[in-house]
Amino acid sequence: MSDAMHAAIAGAQPSQRAEKNPDAPLFEGVYKERFDSILTRYPNKRAALLPVLHMAQEIRGWISPETMTRVAELLELTPAYVRSVASFYTMFALRPVGRYLIQVCVGIGCDLCGAEEVTERFLELTKTRIGETSDDGKYTVVEVECLGACAFPTVVQVNDQVYENVKAEEVESLLKELD
Amino acid sequence: MDSESKLINLTIDGTEVSVPEGTTILKAAERLGIVIPRYCWHPGLSAPAQCRMCLVEVEGWPKPQPACVQQVQDGMVVNTDCVEARKARRGVIEFLLLNHPLDCPICDAAGQCMLQDYAHETGQLRRRAVEAKVVLGRDHVTPEIVYFADRCILCTRCVRFMDEIAQEPVLQVINRGHKGYIDTMTDELFEHPFSMNIVDVCPVGALVNEDFLFKARSWDLDQTASICPGCSQGCNVALGTKENRVVRLKPRFNPEVNSYWMCDHGRREVVRWGAGMRAEVPLVREAERLVPADWARALDATVEALRGVEGGAKAIVDPGASNESLYIVRRLMDQVGFDGGSFRVSSGPQQVLKGFPKLALREDRAANASGAEALGYGRVDDIYGAVRSHRGVLFVLEEGLDDAPEDFADGSALFVYIGSVLSPAARKADIVLPSPSFAEMDGTFTNFEGRVQRFTQGLRPPGLARPIWMSGSVVLARLGGGEPFTSAAAAFAALAEEFTAFSGLSYEKIGLTGAVSAAAESGATAS
């Protein structure tokens, strides 16, 4: 897998090409090159924590305690500090998530235009509750704050794909489209 | 502080004050006796200015300023209690109380809680929020410390203590906002020899010591200035006592010895001490049996027995005994011919507090080994060997004698036991003089660097137990003339006359933070 991204945005693209293998080796091969180039962007290793965590999530699908400990080692931080940062940001999954992470916007615009019904429909069809992963390991549905597309409610983001103007009755076909 | 540094003139709450350049508003206000409310700021830690409780108004500035980090400027006019400052504080308090369980009636910190204080002072009477509170629960962070996440205001004092002072940054804030709490990396507990300081720095009831949990209300405790007897560091402490028991120890600020901190070992030692049987009444041997006696009879018997006794005097003392007690025993020995006194010190690994390296849990786990040495007692490994073939008088002061050999003291003409607990070996004594523990009397300890520090009486001694500087001085007066001592201060004054390690010192000079004698100081610089 080649990596043509400019160093300035490398690692800022979360799970686009996620391998999502929880046991995948961290930062080897092409990821090692990206890891090194991330480090060159900052005056110290601590500052590289966020992009490195993003990359770790891209590789493994979620940030496990083992991942945090490994990242702490590489960046010369304490594991507790890494956990503190990783838990601060909701974009890091601290538990395994399904192959499709369905993020429904519940910001004020979407909320007024039926985000609640859309969420309900997703939960119904995937047979899960908020934050849980379906039995087949395919879906996790979460509510997120504003996704920045308020003109097109309800906004739904599946992994890195954004869907606009999603209505409750369209949810079923959206899910089919994913497979 | 650099005496050359520029002075800044400013006005705080209508009063002018001059402080050196670089002083914060909070510190400058303290000079005027104005205490600006604060949570995250602690004098022993860095100031992250994150709790926003210390916001004050600076006239002409667009926004309120955090007093804990904002440095003073010439001509600044600061108002700490104006409408704007109170409004800012009220807002902070309202947010802090949003998810607070308000469980003061069962909270250990009630009565010493800064959240209670400031909510009472500036908070509003009623809650405006109608939403349900977020409940996070509680958990242990160390085997002895419980963390109540719902009470936590996330001031991060404990996080910064572990980071800056313990220099083992195991604690962090996990999650954020109303879901935030303090935790380690894993669910496992952490252990650190100075961990209980995080309970002391906690401004609310979030971190509490399980040893003290639900034992007492803070306002029921009497506070007594004392010295921790756990090791030769001699941390300045306040004993919290209730119903004639020490229920907790808190460090007492002393920049020369322990700053704001103390170790866990000392706290455990004192609180768990004294559960066993105490010697409460003088005992005198009559026809092979130890018979309870009043002090008049016990002292008569002691004087009688010491008169005309031969073979000199040896002693085994405990290095946890006070200088005054050790001194009187020394004088009693001198009366019949001093033939050497010895003590042993239990030891453990030294644990230095990295962020304040003056403070360590010392190898010598006894408060007064230096004092015993200064008063002519010798440190030995085998205290029993030193007195094995002794035929004269044997004094034992406070040493427990738990592992004494069968034939201990069998050959001595007279065995006087002065102590607070009676082991089987101590029961072989001819005369037992019951004495109080350090918490039950006044006295001094000499710490590892020769600093003499006073501890004061916080508890009533049990039964008829009296300090040996008192009872022993009566015996001395009757044997050799002079007046008995009426106070520990008088005993110390006599001691300071006689021993150079204490010369020039008095209770007044030592005060409650200790002093080093001129002789000891010049000796230290010479060596």
Same domain, A122 and A81: no
Q: Chain A interface, mutation test: which of B154, B184, B185, B186, most A Cβ atoms within 10 Å?
A: B185
Question: For residue B527, what pLDDT is reported?
Answer: 39
What tens digit of pLDDT does each residue of B273-284 get?
765 678 999 999
Q: What are phi and psi of B16, to 5 degrees?
A: -85, 145
What tens digit of pLDDT does each residue of B142-190 get?
999 999 999 999 999 999 999 999 999 999 999 998 899 999 998 789 9
Distance of CA B275 to the CA centre of its chain: 19
Q: DSSP states of B113-152 as a string?
A: -HHHHHHHHHS-SS----SPPP---EEEEETTEEEEGGG-
Among chain A residues, the shortest Cα distance to B179 is held by A88
CA distance B499 to chain A (A): 52
Count of pairs with CB atoms under 8 A, one residue in A, one in B: 33
Is pLDDT at B412 greater than 90 in this prediction?
Answer: yes
Q: CB–CB of A87 and B184 under 8 A?
A: no
Q: SS3 for B316?
A: strand
Domain extent, residue A79, equals 1-94
pLDDT-derived band of residue A159, with 50, 70 and 90 as boundaries?
confident
Question: For residue B389, what pLDDT is reported?
Answer: 87
Domains and their CATH numbers in chain B? 7-95 (3.10.20.740), 131-220 (3.30.70.20), 283-348+365-502 (3.40.50.740)
Among chain B residues, the shortest Cα distance to A72 is held by B185
Q: CB–CB of A83 and B170 under 8 A?
A: no
Question: For residue A10, what pLDDT is reported?
Answer: 38
Lowest mean pLDDT among B124-133, B370-379, B441-450: B124-133
Question: For residue B328, what pLDDT is reported?
Answer: 96
Q: CB–CB of B172 and A84 under 8 A?
A: yes
What rounded mean pLDDT belongs to chain A? 86
Q: CB–CB of A84 and B174 under 8 A?
A: yes
Question: For residue B524, what pLDDT is reported?
Answer: 53
Q: Chain A interface, mutation test: which of B50, B154, B159, B175, most A Cβ atoms within 10 Å?
A: B175
Domain harbouring A117, CATH code: 3.40.30.10
Q: Which of A47, A74, A94 is the last residue of a domain?
A: A94
Q: What are phi and psi of B285, to 5 degrees?
A: -80, 125
Is pLDDT at B487 greater than 60 in this prediction?
Answer: yes
Among chain B residues, the shortest Cα distance to A88 is held by B175
Chain A touched by B296 (CB under 8 Å): no
Q: CB–CB of A79 and B171 under 8 A?
A: no
Question: For residue A18, what pLDDT is reported?
Answer: 46
Mean pLDDT of B442-448: 96
Chain A touched by B173 (CB under 8 Å): yes
The answer to whether B417 touches B429, Cβ cutoff 8 Å, is yes
Question: For residue A35, what pLDDT is reported?
Answer: 94
Domain count, chain A: 2
Is pLDDT at B2 greater than 60 in this prediction?
Answer: no
pLDDT-derived band of residue A1, with 50, 70 and 90 as boundaries?
very low
Helices (runs of H) and strands (runs of E) counted in chain A? 7, 4
What tens digit of pLDDT does each residue of B311-354 get?
999 999 999 999 999 999 999 999 999 999 999 999 999 999 99
Same domain, A81 and A121: no
Report the alpha-carbon angle B113-B115-B119, nearest 5. 125
Among chain A residues, the shortest Cα distance to B184 is held by A80
Same domain, A1 and A85: yes
What rounded mean pLDDT belongs to chain B? 93
Mean pLDDT of B419-444: 94
Q: CB–CB of A78 and B173 under 8 A?
A: no
Residue that is written with structure tokens 């001694």 in the block: B461
Question: For residue A11, what pLDDT is reported?
Answer: 38
Percentage of chain A modeled with pLDDT above 90: 59
Same domain, A88 and A107: no
Question: For residue B519, what pLDDT is reported?
Answer: 73
What tens digit of pLDDT does each residue of A99-123 get?
888 999 999 999 999 999 999 999 9
The answer to whether A69 touches A75, Cβ cutoff 8 Å, is no
Domain harbouring A61, CATH code: 1.10.10.1590
Q: Which of A63, A94, A125 is the last residue of a domain?
A: A94
Question: For residue A179, what pLDDT is reported?
Answer: 77
Higher pLDDT, A59 or B522: A59
Question: For residue B269, what pLDDT is reported?
Answer: 84
Lowest mean pLDDT among A8-22, B81-95, B222-236, B489-503: A8-22
Question: For residue A27, what pLDDT is reported?
Answer: 87
Closest residue to A80, CB basis, from B169, B175, B176: B169
Q: Which of A60, A94, A128 is the last residue of a domain?
A: A94
Chain A touched by B167 (CB under 8 Å): no
Higher pLDDT, B435 or A132: B435
Q: What are phi and psi of B282, to 5 degrees?
A: -65, 145
Residues of B in Cβ contact (< 8 Å) with A87? 174-176
Q: CB–CB of A84 and B170 under 8 A?
A: no
DSSP 3-state helix, strand, coil percentages of chain B (rounded to 5)?
30, 20, 50
Q: What is the ipTM, given to two decimal places?
A: 0.84
